[in-house]
Amino acid sequence: MQTKLVALAATAILGLTAVSAQAAILDDVKAKGYVQCGVTGGVPGFSAPDANNVWTGIEVDFCRAMAAAIFNDADAVRYTSLTSQERFTALSAGEIDVLSRTTTWTMSRDTQLGISFVGTMFYDGQGFMVRKADGIASALDLSGAAICIESGTTTELNAADYFAANNMEFNTVVFVDQDEVVKAYEDGRCDVYTTDSSALAAERSKFANPDDHIILPEIISKEPLGPVVRAGDTQWFNIARWTYFALLEAEELGVTSANVDEMLGSDNPAIKRLLGVEGDFGTPLGVTKDWAYQIIKLVGNYAETYDRNVGPSTPIGLERGLNALWKDGGIQYAPPIR
């Protein structure tokens, strides 16, 4: 009897696992008609609402690109603003379909939280901002300084490692909310603000006097920031991953939102495959043959989203650096579509 019960229980558990592994996020997304995208509370250039509550940013564009691939409509996205601490629970609980929010790909997150990192939309690293007037030139001069940090982040862990490794006194002021972190720094409650260096640049662009603050030269960590999905749904994972690759491949092949229609007539076989003119790579993915055409037409390629959101001509002003394509000296690289 007991063996039978154990067997029944095991079947039930296995059954549940099988069901959850098959739970098709794509079907659910198609049925509701939009992608629920987890974003920040507002980091300019990455994900931030404008005055009309329209979300923009490179992370927002990723969700828009997924919606373009699925619905031929980049606006079929709804946004959930999440703190660092809330983000992974919101994803695993199914409150969002994809997390696209300044999130660093780490091993423990990728293997212990029931979530899967899709790729690296933005290669970043952690930096420190200080007031120019304080005359600090190096992060190695920060022993004992009051450091403002957001909780539930790799930021906290990296800073602790860095201060310990350099025998420096570690003195943090920790907040759950980014606005509180920035306010505390602006109000002079902290001497230092530390986070991903891209976000430092983004936050500085919002300050009344950006030039009163400097970002120190030391970058103390690797912060590969990228979208994340729930683990166990290969189809959804693949749609997210190939959306990212399509953005890169389009840049590599010189296909832009402006020339994509003209490119439909290109003789280049790689462009024909990307745009669904030759072969069908979309249907096996669960979307349509012209999925990448839709992404490029409605959102643009990777360079377009980078340049309009965080590039040198924006207030964030970030050079491509590591985020250039591999052929231009960076490390952004998409496997071939064939």
Ligand X SMILES: N[C@@H](CCC(=O)N[C@@H](CS)C(=O)NCC(=O)O)C(=O)O
Binding residues for ligand X, rule: CB under 6 A, are: 40-41, 43, 83-84, 102-104, 150, 153-155, 178, 195-196, 199, 223, 225
Ranked by CB distance to ligand X, the top (closest) residue is 41
Residue 75: how many CB atoms within 10 A of its CB?
12
- Asked whether the beta carbons of 227 and 99 are under 8 A apart, the reply is yes
> 197 or 294, CB closer to ligand X?
197
Instruction: Return the number of the residue (3 or 108) whose C-beta is nearest ligand X.
Output: 108
Amino acid in the structure at residue 51: A
Give the nearest distance from C-beta 90 to ligand X in angstroms: 13
Q: Based on CB atoms, which residue is closest to ligand X, 195 or 305?
A: 195
- CA torsion through residues 76, 81, 87, 91, sign: negative
Q: Closer to ligand X at the Cβ: 240 or 253?
A: 240
Q: Which residue has the tokens 């920031």?
A: 225
**168: helix, coil or strand?**
coil
Its sign, for the CA torsion 234, 94, 225, 56, is: positive
> From the CB of 223, what's the least distance to ligand X, in Å?
5
CB of 195 to ligand X, least distance (A): 4
Residue 41 vs 232, nearer CB to ligand X: 41
By three-state DSSP, how is residue 147 classified? strand
User: Shortest approach of ligand X to residue 99 CB, angstroms?
Assistant: 10
Q: How far is the CB of 109 from ligand X (least distance, A)?
A: 8
Residue 62 or 293 with smaller CB distance to ligand X: 62
CB-nearer residue toward ligand X: 155 or 172: 155
Non-local CB neighbours of 96 within 8 Å, separated by 6+ positions: 36, 37, 38, 80, 82, 90
Cα(89)–Cα(104) distance, integer angstroms? 15
Q: Which residues contact 199 (CB under 8 A, 6 or more apart)?
A: 43, 46, 102
State in angstroms the smallest separation of the CB of 139 from ligand X: 17
CB of 221 to ligand X, least distance (A): 9
Sequence-ordered alpha helix ranges (H) in the chain: 2-22, 25-32, 58-71, 87-92, 107-112, 154-165, 178-186, 197-204, 234-252, 260-263, 269-275, 291-298, 302-309
